[in-house]
Structure 1
Amino acid sequence: MAFRNILDGAASFCAALVTLTVCGLPAWFTVVAVRSEVAPIWAYGAAAGLAIIGVILTVAFLRKSFAGIAPTRQRRR
Structure 2
Amino acid sequence: MAFRNILDGAASFCAALVTLAVCGLPAWFTVVAVRAEVAPPWAYAAAAGLALIGIILTIAFFRKAFAGVAPTRQRRR
> TM-score per shorter chain, which class?
over 0.9
Q: Which residue of 1 aligns with 2:35?
A: 35
Deviation at residue 27 of structure 1 after TM alignment: 0.1
Q: Which runs of 4+ in 1 moved over 4 A?
A: none
Q: Which residue of 1 aligns with 2:9?
A: 9
User: Which residue identity does 1:12 align to in structure 2?
Assistant: S
Matched, 1:71 2:67: no
Gaps of 5+ in 2: none
Matched, 1:18 2:12: no
Please provide the CA RMSD for this pair: 0.1
Between the aligned partners of 2:67 and 2:42, the Cα distance in structure 1 is 39
Count of residue pairs the alignment pairs up = 77
Percentage of matched positions with identical amino acids: 87
Superposition TM-score, scaled by structure 1 size: 1.00
What do the CA deviations read for 1:8-59 (whole angstroms, capped 9, x no partner)? Answer: 0000000000000000000000000000000000000000000000000000
Superposition TM-score, scaled by structure 2 size: 1.00
Gaps of 5+ in 1: none
